[in-house]
Structure 1
Amino acid sequence: MSRTVYVNGDYVAEADAKISVFDRGFLFADGVYEVTSVLDGKLIDYDGHATRLQRSLDELEMAAPMPMEELLEVHREMVRLNNIDEGLVYLQITRGNPGDRDFAYPPADTKPSLVLFTQSKPGLSSNAAAEKGLSVISAPDMRWGRRDIKTVQLLYPSMAKMLAKAAGADDAWMVEDGFVTEGSSNNAYIVKGNTIVTRHLGNEILAGITRAAVLRFARESQMKVEERSFTVDEAKDADEAFVTSATTFVTPVVSIDGEQIGDGKQGSVAARLREIYIEESRKAAV
């Protein structure tokens, strides 16, 4: 069955969705995006995604196509039209179509382009993937320097994901100056003793919405958290490791570069945080 997608004010069948070849998102990756999870037909942490979206737009001096409250209603309508129980809503805003290709930003009154689509993911909240865990490899972090802005410049993360697949692994943890930055599409964590360690915020990583929620829940549960850089060797020596994102929630990492982490199974910290995250997110969903 064809999905309904949203394109610049219209809800249309995906086969009829069109964007100009001169759109700057297509020509320059001049755009930002957000992915919001859906559980039980409701949006998870929409306010967090909206706040980060506005920050990304501000950092790029890009106009918002509509107020965030109206954007919420578009998300809800997309969930309704596509009958999404568990899944995702993808949103993308670009600087729009100024009429011709030019490296310089177009005039400020150029209308931005707004696109949304949904992905149905039955079993998104199940523990099957979590119980199995992920294998990761380390890869050099060769992305641009403003990873704190959630742009659509995702070619290198895609390359890193393919490096992982070629190595028989699930994902890649990117490394810069000897320290892990983040996964190809997630934030990275290790657990040593009773301490959760994850890289501090800065231009080097994205401020994950799931990351913020999980760290808050961890502290509320009296778990010790250190926000600092860690090395691949530290990860190999950790008791457990995991990733967080809107699409993985909290998922354990059981090996890195072919070396087992801990006992090679889902650890108690990751398991508990996943349980708390899903439970609390369902309560607060809109």
Structure 2
Amino acid sequence: MRIGFIGLGVMGRPMADNLVAAGHELSVYRGRTDLAAHVCTSAKEVAERSEVVILMVPDTPDVEAALFAPGGAAEGLRAGSLVIDMSSISPTATIGFAQLIEKLGCDYLDAPVSGGELGARDGTLTIMVGGRPDVFERARPVFEVLGKNITLIGGAGAGQTAKVANQIIVGLTIEAVAEGLLFAERAGADPAVVRQALMGGFASSRILEVHGERMVSEAFEPGFRLRLHRKDLGLAVQAAAELDLALPNTAATQQLMNAAIADGDGELDHSALYKTLRRG
């Protein structure tokens, strides 16, 4: 396929690498690149050169700008083009974006991912998709290059809803692991040994395995930046207010992330919540 890719960041760059390796013809925008790809000067040019346009940018305003700002991708789409937003953004805004793109005679999927930089590099991302089933099947060959666990959740916005739920669970579990290991440390036990012991019990989890290791090793180079996870929990808190829903522990973890960012740790991995609790 002729694929356009907008957003060559921590996640986007290895995803684009995998698409090139799979034989797709790539046009790219945003970020320096040494990919075997055509480098465009605007999102509009990306869309003009592509059958499928993938977005992988940080936040809701970035998606809106990439699509609808002057020189945005919407200006270059042709009838039948497919837009796939793999960013993690507002489910409500996503529904509006999908409607606008569909009015142009094009198709739209929201397809946020989980799995971090490692999953992006290895092509093993979990992909949560919102959109029409026929459009999902059209995009499946692209998704199969990028991920392994690929699920159509429902209509437009459903993929983003699933991703917000994912980020609630991941964020609260990271916070729980940090509290448990900090408790062990302050009580005089070796947190690395405690972590190893817990890996054989009911507390075992992928987060205890990966993020717990980062905590005990104090290795906080970003797989997923804390400031981006704070953004995702902000989406959860905002949606909860719209739904008249109480998410007290989500709100508390978001506040802990606020403290981490205030202390200058926003560019570290989200496992750096351990540092924030230690300082407290």
Task: Normalising by structure 1, report the TM-score.
Answer: 0.30
> Relative contact order (C-alpha < 8 Å, sep 6+): which is higher?
1
Which structure carries more helix by proportion?
2
Which structure carries more strand by proportion?
1
